[in-house]
């Protein structure tokens, strides 16, 4: 029997990337308490905070008004987004010197397969060189996780920050990860882990323990539970989808409403309509997406855009709308809205996506099941109206 190849995957995650770039353009910010957000305003939220600011309990996603209460002298700065993109491209170009198997997670993180290079050089030497070069050449501190799968590499990079360098072997997963808080499971939403904690699921070990399975399934779906278990067993994706032109493409739609939208139920329904609209375009073009985003604009014309990048590419409506719902729940605060938008980016052609990327479930089986669901839904809508049925959040679905 042919031995399965062991891949060596790095997950490179910048430490406070936006703050690091701001310090490059304004060195006076170094070692000071500052945050990235809307200048000269108490409206909006913080994108990220410097490590000095974090000591005061100031973190990403925090409303500016709350941050100023924690530190009245907090310095809030903003830069054109292109500045961040410039350093993102420098980062990617540096990685290309080590491998052509690079997968972008977001503007401040990427996966790289160094399996071939590691036959000539030790992986730790490669990782340390990349980390040192990014710091010396571009003043960008990063943490690197090394593992056999993308998921475990991601978990490893979070273990030590800033400037961490962590190897996570499959046999060490229990010792290094099981004692961590359940909120540290990559993919567990901010609204999900408190529900788990209320049921006594405090750690990753508690989450994965067979005796607690029934409790966990009160909060997330059985399918997602099995997927997470597979991730921690090292049975998730270990092949990187290299950069393609489609990574820079996107599909999006926006709608301005004559009536004012208020309430999560109504807004969620309108988002489902927009999602379905561009989902059809995704299928028609045979694209899979990895990054899903929403845009919300209130009656005072304050606009926010939020996105989430998945570990795997997907063309599953249910998975996509789960993310849309999560993003709404995390960022909607009972305002009256006048504009909504949904977008897909990080696109790749369907023929480049392999079935094994779905961990425990093949793409065919998954697509078959969803096709049946979609057909049933469409039949009900045809008979009873468009608002009769749509995907919605409930306690059995995952965040």
Instruction: Mention every residue, 6+ apart, whose C-beta is less than 8 A from residue 165.
Output: 124, 127, 128, 131, 143, 144, 146
Q: Closest by alpha carbon to 223, among 341, 85, 365, 28?
A: 365
Average pLDDT over residues 105-122: 92
CB atoms within 10 A of CB 220: 23
Are 162 and 33 within 8 A, CB to CB? Answer: no
Confidence of residue 374 (pLDDT cuts 50, 70, 90): low
Residue-wise pLDDT for 151-208, tens only, equals: 999 999 999 999 999 999 999 999 999 999 999 999 887 788 999 999 999 999 999 9
Residue-wise pLDDT for 282-310, tens only, equals: 898 888 998 899 989 887 777 888 888 88
Q: Is 335 a catalytic residue?
A: no
Instruction: Mention every residue, 6+ apart, whose C-beta is less than 8 A from residue 325.
Output: 268, 271, 391, 392, 393
| The architecture CATH gives domain 245-388 | 2-Layer Sandwich (3.30)
pLDDT value for 395: 34
Q: CA 128, 129, 133 angle in degrees (round to 5)?
A: 120
Tokens standing for residue 132: 């040192």
pLDDT value for 81: 75
Determine the distance from the C-alpha atom of residue 146 to the mean position of all C-alpha atoms in its chain, rounded to a whole number: 19
Q: Is the dihedral of CA 266, 269, 274, 277 positive or negative?
A: negative
| The architecture CATH gives domain 174-232 | Orthogonal Bundle (1.10)
Tokens standing for residue 232: 């921690």
Cα–Cα distance, 171 to 177 (Å, whole number): 11
- The answer to whether domain 1-168 and domain 174-232 are alike in fold is no
| 1-168: CATH number | 3.30.70.270
Confidence of residue 372 (pLDDT cuts 50, 70, 90): very low
Confidence of residue 396 (pLDDT cuts 50, 70, 90): very low
Are 163 and 142 within 8 A, CB to CB? Answer: yes
| 25 has pLDDT over 90 | yes
pLDDT value for 252: 84
pLDDT value for 318: 87
Cα–Cα distance, 358 to 345 (Å, whole number): 19
Q: Closest by alpha carbon to 280, among 186, 234, 348, 344?
A: 344
Would you kindly state where each structural domain of the chain is located, as residue ranges? 1-168, 174-232, 245-388
Average pLDDT over residues 231-235: 95
Any idea which of 111-120, 129-138, 329-338, 372-381 has the lowest mean pLDDT? 372-381
Q: Which one is catalytic: 23, 109, 227, 357?
A: 109
Residue-wise pLDDT for 306-353, tens only, equals: 888 887 889 999 899 989 999 998 888 888 898 899 999 888 877 666
Q: How many residues does the chain have?
A: 399
Cα–Cα distance, 10 to 118 (Å, whole number): 11
Confidence of residue 386 (pLDDT cuts 50, 70, 90): low
Q: Closest by alpha carbon to 302, among 41, 29, 12?
A: 41
DSSP per-residue letters across 26-37: -GGGTTS-EEES
Average pLDDT over residues 35-63: 88
Confidence of residue 369 (pLDDT cuts 50, 70, 90): very low
pLDDT value for 353: 67
Cα–Cα distance, 212 to 399 (Å, whole number): 19
| 357 has pLDDT over 50 | no
Q: Closest by alpha carbon to 150, among 194, 109, 94?
A: 109
| 84 has pLDDT over 60 | yes
């Amino acid at each position: 029997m042919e031995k399965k190849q062991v891949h060596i995957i790095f997950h490179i995650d910048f430490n406070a990337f936006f703050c690091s770039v701001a310090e490059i353009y304004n060195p006076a910010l170094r070692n000071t308490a500052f945050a990235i957000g809307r200048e000269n305003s108490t409206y909006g939220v913080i994108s990220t905070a410097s490590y000095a600011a974090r000591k005061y309990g100031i973190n990403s996603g925090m409303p500016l008004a709350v941050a100023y209460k924690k530190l009245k002298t907090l310095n809030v700065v903003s830069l054109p987004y292109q500045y961040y993109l410039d350093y993102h491209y420098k980062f990617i170009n540096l990685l290309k010197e080590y491998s052509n198997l690079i997968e972008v997670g977001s503007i401040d993180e990427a996966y790289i397969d160094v399996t071939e290079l590691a036959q000539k050089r030790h992986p730790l030497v490669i990782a340390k060189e990349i980390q040192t070069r990014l710091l010396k050449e571009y003043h960008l501190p990063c943490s690197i996780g090394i593992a056999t799968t993308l998921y475990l590499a991601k978990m490893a990079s979070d273990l030590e920050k800033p400037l961490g360098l962590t190897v996570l072997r499959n046999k060490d997963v229990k010792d290094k990860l099981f004692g961590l808080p359940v909120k540290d499971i990559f993919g567990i939403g901010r609204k999900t882990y408190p529900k788990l904690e209320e049921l006594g699921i405090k750690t990753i070990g508690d989450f994965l323990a067979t005796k607690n399975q029934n409790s966990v399934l009160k909060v997330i779906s059985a399918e997602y539970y099995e997927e997470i278990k597979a991730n921690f067993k090292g049975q998730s994706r270990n092949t990187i989808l290299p950069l393609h032109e489609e990574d820079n493409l996107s599909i999006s739609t926006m709608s301005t409403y004559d009536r004012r939208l208020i309430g999560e139920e109504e807004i969620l329904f309108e988002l489902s309509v927009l999602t379905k609209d561009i989902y059809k375009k995704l299928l028609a073009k045979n694209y899979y997406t990895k990054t899903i985003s929403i845009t919300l604009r209130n009656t005072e014309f304050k606009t926010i855009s939020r996105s989430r990048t998945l570990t795997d590419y997907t063309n599953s409506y249910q998975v996509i709308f789960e993310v849309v719902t999560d993003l709404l729940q995390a960022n909607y605060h009972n305002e009256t809205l006048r504009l909504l938008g949904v977008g897909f980016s990080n696109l790749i052609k369907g023929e480049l996506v392999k079935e094994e990327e779905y961990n425990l479930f093949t793409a065919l089986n998954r697509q078959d099941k969803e096709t049946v669901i979609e057909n049933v839904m469409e039949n009900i809508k045809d008979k009873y109206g468009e608002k009769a049925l749509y995907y919605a959040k409930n306690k059995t679905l995952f965040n």
